[in-house]
Amino acid sequence: MNDGGDAPRLNKHQLLTIEKSLFELARKQKSQAIPVDLPVPAFWSSVGQLLQHLEADLAETIRDRGMTAEAQLKSRRLGTIRTCVSDLTRLRLNAFTEHAVLSNLLKSPQGDTVSVSASFQSLDWERHDPSERAYHSGVGHLVEKYKHEVSWNALLRGSGGEMPSSPEVGGHEPLTEFVERDDAVSQPTPDAPSEPPPSTWDDPEIDEEDRIRQIDAFPDRPTGAASPEPPRSRSPRTAACAASWSYRT
């Protein structure tokens, strides 16, 4: 990054514009993964002029008035701008490093950029500082050296030889292939079990008188009527009472 050699001499109004652009650029770069375009071609040279102007103004104030409140405010302003420059430089170098690494790793083994994803945004170097482009190119060379040392292409695509194909395993032939067609024996299918024909009960026609005669012919056959109860045996006490009664009479 140049220190004001490439940019023309700026007045106070232009330096104030560069100061505002510095803080705006830092705010945008925090939310972006790729390097943000610079607002002016010689941006870092203009920032260098801004810092030189603030340092000279601060030194003049301290020499004329001492370390007054005005001098403290100017010193604080100078420190804030330098902190912003440090943060912006860190963010942009990280963005350039990531962009250089990804753009190099996405290249095809032949070195062209045909395989680079269409969504990967390329940089317009007219909108960036020449020192940033040199840094980006240096990171790309380091990535190429790393890929060569670890055999990057071989790790991703192998040694280039064709992988041996696995032998085809045929299935087992059916058993019918080993039996001649003329000797094929057809197995009879079992017949379904035959069901017996339904039997019918023919109730003989007998009138009521014949049925009564048949029942009388077999007296021991149960007819469904209740049989008479056998005579009960009398107890000895009952027998004694009966004898006493018969004696009195």
Question: Residue 63 gets which letter from DSSP?
Answer: H
The sign of the CA dihedral 5, 47, 24, 27 is positive
107 part of a folded domain: yes
Number of domains in the chain: 1
Mind listing the pLDDT tens digit for each residue in 2-55?
A: 554 566 888 899 999 999 999 999 999 999 989 999 998 899 999 999 999 999
Q: How much is the pTM?
A: 0.57
149 part of a folded domain: yes
141 part of a folded domain: yes
CATH number at residue 78: 1.20.58.2050
Do residues 116 and 103 touch, judged by C-beta distance below 8 A? yes
Do residues 70 and 4 touch, judged by C-beta distance below 8 A? no
46 part of a folded domain: yes
140 part of a folded domain: yes
Mind listing the pLDDT tens digit for each residue in 155-213?
A: 887 766 555 555 565 666 666 666 666 555 556 566 666 666 666 655 566 667 777 77
Range of the domain at 78: 12-112+121-155
177 part of a folded domain: no
230 part of a folded domain: no
Task: Report the C-alpha gap between 4 and 89 in whole angstroms.
Answer: 17
32 part of a folded domain: yes
